[in-house]
Chains A and B, each alone.
Chain A
Amino acid sequence: MNKRKLPFGTALLNAPFTLWTVIFILAPLVLVAYFAFTGNDGRFSLQWFEYIFDPARRETYLRMFGDSLLYGALATGISLLLAFPLAHFMAQSKQSVQRVLMLLIMVPMWMNFLIATNAWRYILEHNGLINNLLAGIGLPRLGMINTPGAAILGMVYNFVPFMILPIYTVMARLNVQLVEAAQDLGASRWEVLRRVIVPLSMPGVMSGVIMVFVPSVSVFFINDRLGGVRLIGDVINDRVLNETNLGAAFSLILMLIILVCMLVLNRMGDREKGAFVN
């Protein structure tokens, strides 16, 4: 295609990234797998997986993985529902307003999640900000803290910028003429949204979903502190310091689950794309 390119140019350009990937991405993964399959005696062993799937514990840990998936999916879904209209709103704004809104989305990301969680606790507490306001106008106090809802709120709060930004980026690039053409052809606003904007935003939605789902499934601390909900991330966090190999086994299972979810998502994404092309 391009004669003037040096034959080894591409290889040379890719060398640093390849090297980096092998040393810092693949090697740690291999280490995790190695530890997960190494017993207390230092030899190959399935003892950690036997421990996790021991009949006495199986139910607990399967339910925990299930809960993590459920909470992760809920947090991702809610983030998507919140983010999509907002991204649309941003993309429809004036260029100068868009830049400011972008900035306003990024600012909360600089807040340490420990600090944010502490602030949310105060907002949701029995004698907290919202309940004091409610009591001030004579309304009954609500039980918000230590509920599954609070856990999901904390997760959504921390991860929703990662949903907004990619969707917005794609929508901002979206070809206005395409929308106008659809309108000229008599499509209603709803149809334009369904037939043009949603399908064209899919790449952004996909990366947003990945970037929210992965940290949500492996979340720890936030969910427990706000919602009293303990998930698999908390278990890993607890165990890995005491029994590194067991922690590695839990991590490996979690990564497998994430991988499967991603593959399923990818399939769905492909079908979406295909639907649009047809």
Chain B
Amino acid sequence: MKKKNGILSTVYAGLIFLFLYLPIAVIVVFSFNSGRTTSNFESFSFYWYMRLFTTNFEAQAALRNTLILALSTAVITVLLGTLAAVGIDRLRRKFTERIALGANNIPLMSPEIVMGISMMMLFIFGGALFNQQFVLGFSTVLLAHITMCLPYVILSVLPKLRQTDPHLAEAAQDLGCSQVMAFFRVTLPSISTGIASAFLITFTLSLDNFVISRFTAGPFTTLPLHIFGQIRMLVRPDMYALTTLIFVMMFLLLLGSNLLQARAAKRQNKQT
């Protein structure tokens, strides 16, 4: 068994979580403000939530756009990234592997603002090559988000692949599995935790991205872009209400998936 945490370290962890959650508490409280500001609490009210669900069409559309984008990004990036990780894992020459990993690191090392601008240039340039005007929109912001998230997927899947015993897949092939079948039956299950966390991190990064979207999304308004437009005049509690709702939704979602995970873990424990 592992050692237990002492009181001191528990207090320390508590303080860090207080730091992380203090602004969230502020946001939740002010989302119920009846006034128009986020610094002067007048009285408790659901007014901004009502506005959000009735006449705030822009916020609704932005929320919808963001969820669609984050979901598409997560699915495509995880597929592409897993494939890439498997490919990199099979590279036998140190030199080619280094190049592949180096290339993978470029987006991690690029400031977001540089990535956003350079991708905008690329899309417009590429559009001109194919005689296409006005290319910016859902597809370009999707491509940009996939590019931004790809390294994270590879970095979470590749270590899991490295831990996997290659002989297992070979054994499966010896027993008559095709190469593809061996991958799905043997390799995939052993890297699935890496894939799951890659999915989550990709979804998170895309959901919250502002800088890259700003340059590549064109008329496709995501939630962070909408929020940026809104706060030019004054941050109103409706943006806080929206943030609170996202928290609640994601919290429930994660809690659900966690319960499932816990149950699966228990079952596994019983089996062994």
Contacts and interface: CB of A to CB of B under 8 A. Distances in A.
> Do A and B interact directly, with beta carbons closer than 8 Å?
yes
Interface of A: 1-2, 4-6, 9-10, 13-14, 16-17, 20-21, 23-29, 31-32, 35, 82, 85-86, 88-90, 92-93, 95-96, 99-101, 103-116, 118-120, 122-123, 125, 128-129, 157, 160-161, 165, 176, 207, 210-211, 214-215, 217-218, 220, 233, 236-237, 240, 244, 247-248, 251, 254-255, 258-259, 262
B208 A112 contact: yes
8 contacts: A32-B121, A82-B16, A92-B5, A107-B24, A122-B30, A123-B26, A233-B111, A236-B111
A160 B240 CA distance: 22
Residue from A21, A35, A119, A251 with most neighbouring chain B CB atoms (10 Å)? A119
By Cβ-Cβ distance, the 8 closest A-B pairs, closest first, are A218-B111, A28-B118, A17-B84, A13-B87, A119-B23, A14-B87, A251-B114, A24-B147
A243 to B, nearest CB: 12
B155 interface: yes
Contacts of B2: 92, 176
Q: Is the interface of B mostly helix, strand, loop or mixed?
A: helix
Contacts, number: 220
B228 A114 contact: yes
B27 A111 contact: yes
B112 A215 contact: yes
Q: Is the interface of A mostly helix, strand, loop or mixed?
A: helix
A84 B113 CA distance: 29
Interface of B: 2-5, 9-10, 12-13, 16-17, 19-24, 26-27, 30, 38-39, 80, 83-84, 86-88, 90-92, 100, 103-115, 117-119, 121-122, 125, 143-144, 146-147, 150, 155, 166, 170, 173, 179, 200-201, 204, 207-208, 210, 223-224, 227-228, 231, 235, 239-240, 243, 246-247, 250-251, 254-255, 258, 261-262, 265
Given A86-B16, A110-B246, A114-B210, A122 B26 contact: yes
